[in-house]
Amino acid sequence: MAKKKAAAKRPKKTLPPASSKPLNSGENPDESQAEYSGLPPPQLSFKSAIVAEMTSVISNGITINKVIQVLILAYIANLLYVKLDLNFDYDSKVEIGIGFLSILSSILIIYVSRKRRWNTGVELGSIDKDDPEKWVELPEFNLIYAIVLPIFVTYIVDKRYLGVNLVNILLVIDIPIAFKILLALSMEQQVLDESGYLNQGFVTTRNNLLIPVAHVGFRELLGYYGGSSFSNTESELFSTLFVNLVLFVDKSNIELFILAKLTLAFIGSLVICTALYRVLILFSPKYVISLILHPVFTALVYYGSVYQLAPVLGKHPWDYLVNDIMNEQRIHFLYSWLILLVVVVPPVFYFVDAIPLDFRRKIWHFTILIILSYPLSIDPSFCVIALGGVFGLFLVVEILRSTEMPPFGQILSRNLEKFQDERDKRGNITISYLYLVLGIVLPVMFDGSSCAGLVSLGLGDSMASMVGKRYGLVKWPGSNKSVEGTFAFIVVTFLGLLAARTFFGYQFSWEISFIAAALAGVLEGISDFNDNIIIPLVVFTILHGQ
């Protein structure tokens, strides 16, 4: 009875008057109901608004290919974490975690602030919401590789670089340069403090200041000289590599130290000659400019290299090259390489029109595989120096080709055009053969004798292309690459790694070889990032991360 009396005293809910506005099918139910009840529409909290916004953006841009790529990278990260868990103390893990959270939160905050400014502009009429150039989007998906690959490689090669590369990763954020540098300097105070776990005296105050300047400066140079040849992700990866090579390689690794100083001499000479070219082009014909710039560039590279290397080597670099680097075995390598190139190169250029494009491009993959297979296993240091020299030579060729500088520029342009694909034609620079050399030499630079790049590019990538072009019937979703090509990559790369272990003494198990081949093969098929960069680094990370 008491319960019935209490219930009777409760006020009854009253229906709205008949004149109230009905809910139309095209209205937002929450807003209509709020108006219906006389209450203001519900407002999301700041945190909820951010979560809702990011959920909407991610769900709209997600594809099965991107999900697979994220899962593969997460699996590789887990492999490395197992090793990290055994070798790093708790405080180091905390600093790394804080660094990553700082980067992700910065990207998130910048995106949300830009989107809110865009919404305000649309409401005020200052921004046309139908103008694609004004739309606010998340950074390109491939930037995930510019974030995770440096950390993967750094952990395997030298953990002292972790703090440095956390700062480099922060610099991928697309904000004005001045703010980007200030943000990086601020983060350095967290992760590169001289007493911090990620420094331990490795990074000096001078280098602290130079990290963001060198990264941003090199990024701008790539954009100036390459135009649209380099994607944003490629530019960020190369800028990170530049910072590590130029600022933190010392003479304890003499081969990389020489490459670092030659890189500085080359870039400095290129910048000076570019400024000189801009002046001369105003009143001089190209052949006169060529007569001036060729000797000037050569002299600048020569004296810049001597100035940097002679005090460290204790002798003239040429004497060091002839007396200390060259020996009978290395001279034998050079002769054999020269003979092979004489046998291969002239026929390829002579019959180039009769050779399918994919095969004429992959000939160079097979050639470099034959050239380096044996020398890399017994003298990797010499291979690094040789490949560095080849890369520099290719850069000079590209400068002559892209500028059509007399007397060789136009000849190079006509002949090399026959080897270009669509990616090579998107900007000023033909990137394919530069990336081929870089993809092979980077694992060797990192480990000393790694065959990750040689096997994955010389064998796997070549076979994937040729099999996929001829027999590929089943395409990966959203890609022009085939499942058959991926299968060929996995099989050939796996067999190549087993052969390297059997004949050249590389120390990795067949299980990890298969995992490396399989994951790299899937990434090669579904990723639109450049194969010559991503594949060697992924294979290297898996092979050497155990």
Same domain flag for 199 and 341: no
pLDDT digits (tens, 9 = 90+) for 352-367: 888 888 888 889 999 9
pTM above 0.85, yes or no: no
Model pLDDT, residue 51: 64
> From residue 404, how far is each of 276, 287, 399, 401 by CA, in Å?
17, 10, 8, 5
- Highest mean pLDDT of the ranges 80-84, 136-140, 191-195, 478-482: 478-482
Same domain as 338, residue 471: yes
Structural domain ending residue among the three candidates 203, 234, 258: 203
Three-class DSSP labels, 136-170: CCCCCCCHHHHHHHHHHHHHHHCHHHHHHHHHHHH
What's the confidence (pLDDT) of residue 50?
A: 59
pLDDT, tens digit (0-9, with 9 covering 90-100), for 365-415:
999 999 998 898 888 888 988 898 899 999 999 888 888 888 888 888 888
Both tokens of 93, joined, read 């893990």
pLDDT-derived band at 180, boundaries 50, 70, 90: confident
Does residue 111 form part of some domain? yes
Q: Residue 43: inside a domain, yes or no? A: no
Q: What is the 3-state secondary structure (H, E, C) of 305-317?
A: HHHHHHHHHCCCH
d(C-alpha 134, C-alpha 131), whole Å: 6
Burial of residue 475 (CB within 10 Å: 0-12, 13-18, 19+) is: middle
Residue 327's pLDDT band, with cuts at 50, 70 and 90, is confident
Residue 202 has pLDDT above 50, yes or no: yes
Indicate whether 455 pLDDT > 90.
yes
- Give the C-alpha separation, 95 to 424, whole Å: 41
Using one digit for the tens of pLDDT, what is the confidence trace for 430-452?
888 899 999 999 998 888 778 99
Q: In DSSP terms, which residues pair with 482 in a beta bridge?
A: 475
pLDDT in tens, 460-515: 999 999 999 888 889 988 788 899 999 999 999 999 999 998 888 788 889 999 99
Tokens matching residue 169: 């990763």
| 8 A C-beta contact, residue 162 and residue 169 | no
475 in helix, strand or coil? strand
Residue 413 lies inside a defined structural domain of this protein: yes
Q: Decide which of 203, 234, 268 is a domain's last residue.
A: 203
Show the DSSP H helices in 62-160 as ranges: 64-87, 90-124, 143-157
514 and 366, same structural domain?
yes
Whether residues 189 and 336 share a domain: the answer is no
Is position 545 within any domain?
yes
Q: Is residue 269 part of a domain?
A: no
Residue 79 has what pLDDT? 82
367 part of a folded domain? yes
Q: Which range, of 35-39, 227-231, 262-266, 386-390, averages the lowest pLDDT?
A: 35-39
For 98-107, what is each residue's pLDDT tens digit? Answer: 656 666 666 6
The token pair at 508 is 């990795």
How high is the pLDDT of residue 2?
46
Radius of gyration of the chain (CA): 29
On whether residue 47 sits in a domain, the answer given is no
Half-sphere exposure in the Cβ direction for 260 (13 Å, CA): 21
Looking at per-residue confidence, does 212 or 131 come out higher? 212
475 pairs with which residues across the strands?
A: 482
- Contact between 293 and 301 (Cβ < 8 Å): no
Q: Is 199 in the same domain as 330? A: no
Last residue of a domain, one of 175, 203, 231: 203
Residue 245 falls inside a structural domain: no
How many structural domains comprise the chain?
A: 2
Give the number of residues written for the chain. Answer: 546
What tokens were used for 272?
Answer: 């000076």
Average pLDDT over residues 122-145: 71
Q: Identify the domain containing residue 516 by its residue range.
A: 326-546
Residue 183 has pLDDT above 90, yes or no: no
Task: Give the list of residues 6+ apart from residue 446 with CB closer than 8 angstroms, or none.
Answer: 153, 156, 157, 540, 544
DSSP secondary-structure letter at 482? B
350 and 483 co-located in one domain: yes
Q: Given this model, what pLDDT does residue 9 score?
A: 47
The set of long-range contacts for 95-102, using a CB threshold of 8 Å and a minimum separation of 24, is: 95/163, 95/190, 95/191, 95/196, 95/197, 95/198, 96/162, 96/166, 96/198, 98/190, 98/191, 99/163, 99/166, 99/187, 99/190, 99/191, 99/198, 100/166, 102/170, 102/187, 102/190
Structure confidence at residue 45 as a pLDDT band (50, 70, 90)? low
Would you state the pLDDT for residue 12? 46
3-state secondary structure at position 127: coil
Residue 214 identity (one-letter amino acid): A
